[in-house]
Amino acid sequence: MNGQLVQHTVDSAALAGNPLGDPARRAVLTYLPPGYEEGAERYPVFYFLHGFSSSARAWVNFSAFAPSVPERLDALITQGALPKAIGVFIDGWTAFGGCQWDNSAALGRYRDYVVQDVVPFVDRTLRTVPTREGRALIGKSSGAYGTLVMGRHHPEVFAHLACHSGDSYFEYCYLGDFPKAAAALLKAGGVAPWFAEFTQRARSTKMRGDDFPTLNTVAMAAAYSPEPGQPLGLALPFELETGRLREEVWARWLALDPVRFIPADPAPFQTLANVFIDCGTRDEANLRWGTRMVAKALEQAGVPVVHEEFEDGHMGINYRLDRSLTVLGPRLSRG
């Protein structure tokens, strides 16, 4: 690379004392463009939110025959396809595998962590353009959901969003996992025994392929229906003995679905400068349809939206970041 990767450490007040005991001290990886050390110029910033069961380091991992995301960012800048910018890769790993980048009584205050801890730290530490117009937030999958959460709650922090295959239209992307999760949890005797057995097995051997629907359901319940006093601090969206939907809990999930919260209150999104949103036509979690609904809701609210589809699935699509970076990059403020 012509630029460089630098690791910083952030002590997060927002994550201190979180319910799962996850670290409040987090690594923040930053990409600095060519010439950063020699000059005094300020740069706009791309913030990246990773998906479920991932971490900040996933963006920089080696992948055979394919560049990492910092390498993609560096190549675009070197080729002149993208103005120079800083990249910041934020860590949202939890004991459940993710956080949906929102505040939850079962997980911790991950939305506050981003806007109150990470962004101010980056502005203090690096030569950024410290305005909302100089910041873009880019996410994939659960991270893409997180960009819409930030757009809903913090348009004063980020004026530009890119949402790649974000969790949306929960009926299509989550309901199919519920019967599988119910069977596993019932067999284990409840959510707490299942999670204890799962973590022990995953550490001593590895996850099984059929673990993911259960883990995903438990993690999403922690994000969407936290309930202090219940096992693991969460309410399941179905009855354990029958699998029947618990309508009052499911309603809590649906209230946090972007296809609902955007049209219910579009005002925060109407202040955004740009939104890029895409999804593969073969997305295995059926997110194509929720993405279409989100894009339509934004368009109807008058939000500047670029909505695209591409012939691929949910995994291995970091190449789509080339598109969102080059759409949003020239629109970021440089001072």
- Could you tell me the domains of the chain? 4-169+258-331 (3.40.50.1820), 172-255 (no CATH)
DSSP E strand boundaries for 224-303: 274-280
**What pLDDT sits at residue 180?**
97
What's this model's pTM, rounded to 2 decimal places?
A: 0.97
Task: Give residue 62's pLDDT band: very low, low, confident or very high (50, 70, 90).
Answer: confident
**What pLDDT sits at residue 304?**
98
**What pLDDT sits at residue 238?**
98
Q: Using CA atoms, how far apart are residues 253 and 259, in angstroms rounded to an integer?
A: 12
As a whole number of Å, the CA-based R_g of the chain is 20
Q: Is the pLDDT of residue 255 over 90?
A: yes
Mean pLDDT, residues 163-171: 98
Would you state the structure tokens that stand for residue 333, as one six-digit string?
A: 């403020």
Average pLDDT of the chain, as a whole number: 97
Q: Using CA atoms, how far apart are residues 155 and 187, in angstroms rounded to an integer?
A: 44
**What pLDDT sits at residue 188?**
97
Q: Is the pLDDT of residue 248 over 90?
A: yes
**What pLDDT sits at residue 209?**
85
Of all residues in the chain, what percent carry a pLDDT higher than 70? 100
Handedness of CA 46, 51, 54, 55 (dihedral sign): positive
